[in-house]
Amino acid sequence: MKVQIHRLDKALPLPKYETAGSFGFDFLAREDTVIKPGQIGMIPSNVIVKCPDELALLILPRSSTYRKTGLVFPHSIGLVDQDYCGPEDEIFIQLVNPRDHDITVKRGDKIAQGLFVRSPKIEFTEVEKDFLGTDSRGGFGSTG
């Protein structure tokens, strides 16, 4: 499948899948960014992506991000909507610094991974509360 992408800085490579079995591709930092203790940094990813019909782009932490940098994702998962692809709609990666010292993300660092997922448009049909005719399972966390 082909996906339209625009790189703001052509000196950095396009996102790519690192192995034949990879589902996620890496986003790279477009510029050095210093994140102060307790602060959220907005890391420019260097790309604007036009999601194809019925595909959403998820932004996920890389498994090594915390171990290598000490930074964490404050929102766990980011979502890029299909209509976020205008000329100023560069994807930014939010990272929070929980440490007690500055952390620098360097230009070209792998900062997150992207994953396209199918997301068909749905239409809700409102029903009454007992629409399934089953007993409640017990609520949040009820299975232990």
Q: Would you say 29 and 47 are in contact if contact means Cβ atoms under 8 Å apart?
A: no
- Whether the pLDDT of residue 130 is over 80: the answer is no
pTM value is 0.86
- Whether the pLDDT of residue 131 is over 80: the answer is no
- Whether the pLDDT of residue 132 is over 80: the answer is no
Q: Would you say 117 and 56 are in contact if contact means Cβ atoms under 8 Å apart?
A: yes
Q: HSE-up of 51 (CA within 13 Å, CB side)?
A: 22
Tens digits of residue pLDDT in 28-79: 999 999 999 999 999 999 999 999 999 999 999 998 888 999 999 998 899 9
Q: 15: pLDDT confidence band, cut at 50, 70 and 90?
A: very high
Walk me through the domains of the chain, giving residue ranges and CATH numbers. Answer: 25-118 (2.70.40.10)
Can you tell me the mean pLDDT for 131-137?
A: 66
Q: What is the DSSP string of 1-62?
A: ---EEEES-TTSPPP--SSTT-S-EEEE-SS-EEE-TT-EEEEE-SEEEEPPTTEEEEEE--
Interior/surface letters 15-51, b for 16+ CB within 10 angstroms, e for the rest:
beeeeeeeebbbbbbbeebebeeeeebebbbbbbbbb
Rounded to whole angstroms, the Cα distance separating 105 from 27 reads 13
- In total, the chain counts a number of residues equal to 144
Rounded to whole angstroms, the Cα distance separating 125 from 122 reads 10
